[in-house]
Amino acid sequence: MAQNRKKVLVLGAGYAGLQTVTKLQKQISADEAEITLINKNDYHYEATWLHEASAGTISYEDLLYPVKSVINEDKVNFVKAEVTKIDRNAKKVETDAGIFDFDILVVGLGFESETFGIKGMKDHAFQIENVLTSRNLARHIEDKFANYAASKEKDDRDLAILVGGAGFTGIEFLGELTDRIPELCNKYGVDQSKVKITCVEAAPKMLPMFSDDLVNHAVNYLENKGVEFKIATPIVACNENGFVVKVNDEEQQLEANTSVWAAGVRGSQLMEASFDGVKRGRIVNEQDLTIAGHDDIFVIGDCAAFIPAGEERPLPTTAQIAMQQGEHVAKNIKHILEGQPTQEFDYVDRGTVCSLGSNDGVGIVYGRDIIGKKAAFMKKVIDTRAVFKLGGIGLAFKKGKF
């Protein structure tokens, strides 16, 4: 082994970090660099399927696969550890399993739920944030149905579910819920007409990036399945009885034994503690995905706020972007190792699909609106492609949605 191998440290085995490593391990020899990947779990999870595991239409175990199953351990050292501090100037990363130094750092620590300081939201609402939160939420919903069925004094709030936010996460979760509820009603002998699902959205329009046709299809589909929407209704608090919302300047209590916050995400809390100029856990990158003043630190995925050249607003936070950034960073690291200049990141937008359960959806693919079964099919293709890109054909057969 060469003595002067550069130390490449990658934080997070989500879409961004894992794509960086799986691409890099194909592009360089073990002599060129010492690559270490740190992740707090020994598994990668499909964050883009969390709404399914949260509703219980798939098991949380379906989201997971071992990180080691997709890395080449001759080239990559995988460490299961939680990162606690990034010292950018000393070029050291502290974790609960020791301190790691680096020559090149890739930060891909991903997203967390953002409750904007709304009173009681962290304590009383379920979040759709990671494998554990999804597992807990699906179990809680089922427990409430079981409790309703078993108790003599029926509490209708056991069958009431409040969903905060009609963004992509909220809508996709509602789609899965409407698939799941008939199964639960069957299993526990519950009259489905007693189930009450309410989605509360602060903005006057939902999914603003979609045309009216797409939005109307999504709303009609979900309303026909029993979802009630309360639009232009901000949630101002959450307590053990449900959400408190504001209507005409007056506070109202919406009652349910299940409240779900699906109304916002932020980048990792570690970002503010580690870098300057971070907003909601996201830092504006340079065009090559490094950060200002540090040409050896790349920040990608949901911790990045990448503003394409000539534009004003950062790209949204999506897995599609995280993976493209991971692929690009692998190439840029290769350039650095070869003493070549890094290249600018150029995002290719292939489109966006919002699922409505397993059999319906809405989306834009290569600039064209798609609706219904076509969109649902496309979403499964996208989900399977992501598995393939990280784990190859074997994993795609095992975990893909066929």
CA distances (Å), origin 236, targets 116, 244, 249, 293: 10, 6, 11, 40
Would you count residue 141 as binding ligand FAD (CB under 6 A)?
A: no
User: What are the beta bridge partners of residue 188?
Assistant: none
Angle between the N-to-C axes of helices 168-188 and 131-150, in degrees from 0 to 180, rounded to the nearest 10? 40
Q: Does 202 bind ligand NAD (CB under 6 A)?
A: yes
Among 167, 281, 357, 391, which residue interacts with ligand NAD (rule: CB under 6 A)? Answer: 167
Using the rule CB under 6 A, give the single segment among 41-49, 139-147, 234-242, 281-289 that binds ligand FAD: 41-49
Residue 28 binds what, of ligand FAD, ligand NAD, none (CB under 5 to 8 Å, by partner type)?
A: none
Catalytic residue among 172, 176, 201, 327: 172
**Rounded distance, CA 210 to CA 388, Å?**
28
In the block, which residue shows the tokens 């360089």? 28
Closest by CA to 301, choosing from 334, 275, 339, 327, is 327
Interface mask toward ligand FAD for 1-30; x: CB under 6 A: -----------xxxxxx-------------
Least distance to ligand NAD, CB of residue 389, Å: 16
Helix, strand, or coil here: 274? helix
Neighbours of 361 (CB within 10 A): 28
With CB under 5 to 8 Å by kind, the binding choice for 164 among ligand FAD, ligand NAD, none is ligand NAD
DSSP-derived pairing of the beta strands 92-95 and 98-101:
antiparallel
Query: Of 82-90, 210-218, 304-312, 348-356, which segment contacts ligand NAD by CB under 6 A?
Result: 348-356
Instruction: Give Cβ neighbours of residue 118 (< 8 Å, ≥ 6 apart).
Output: 235, 236, 237, 238
312 counts as catalytic = no
Should residue 25 be labelled a site residue for ligand NAD when binding is judged by CB under 6 A? no
Query: Contact, 30 vs 75, CB < 8 A?
Result: yes
In the chain, the amino acid numbered 358 is S
Select 13 or 329, whichever has its Cβ closest to ligand FAD.
13
State in angstroms the smallest separation of the CB of 94 from ligand NAD. Answer: 29
Residue 40 binds to ligand FAD (criterion: CB under 6 A) = yes
| β-sheet bridge partners, residue 291 | 294
Give 19-67 as a DSSP string.
Answer: HHHHHHHHHS-TTTEEEEEEESSSEEE-GGGHHHHHHTSS-GGGGEEEG
Query: Out of 17, 164, 301, 357, which residue is the one contacting ligand NAD (CB under 6 A)?
Result: 164
Phi, psi angle pair for 259, to nearest 5°: -120, 135
Which of 35-43, 246-254, 306-314, 357-365 is the region at the interface with ligand FAD (rule: CB under 6 A)? Answer: 35-43
264 binds ligand NAD (CB under 6 A): yes
Position 201 contacts ligand NAD (CB under 6 A): yes
How far is residue 121 from each of residues 202, 203, 282, 368, measured CA to CA in Å? 15, 19, 22, 38
Is residue 203 part of the contact set for ligand NAD (CB under 6 A)?
yes
Among positions 200, 214, 271, 278, the unique one binding ligand NAD when judged by CB under 6 A: 200
Q: Is 322 in the site for ligand NAD (CB under 6 A)?
A: no
Q: Which is nearer to ligand NAD, 187 or 373 (CB)?
A: 373
Cβ neighbours, 10 Å, residue 392: 13
What residues numbered 276-315 form the site for ligand NAD, per CB under 6 A? none
Helix (H, G, I), strand (E, B) or coil at 14: coil
Smallest gap from residue 284 Cβ to ligand NAD (A): 16
- Dist. CA 306–CA 326, nearest whole Å: 13
Q: What are the residue numbers of the active site?
A: 172
Residues lying near ligand FAD in the complex (CB under 6 A) are found at 12-17, 38-41, 47-48, 50-51, 82-83, 108-111, 128, 169, 172, 268, 270, 301-302, 317-320, 322
Residues lying near ligand NAD in the complex (CB under 6 A) are found at 118, 164-170, 172, 200-203, 206, 234-235, 262-265, 316-318, 352-354
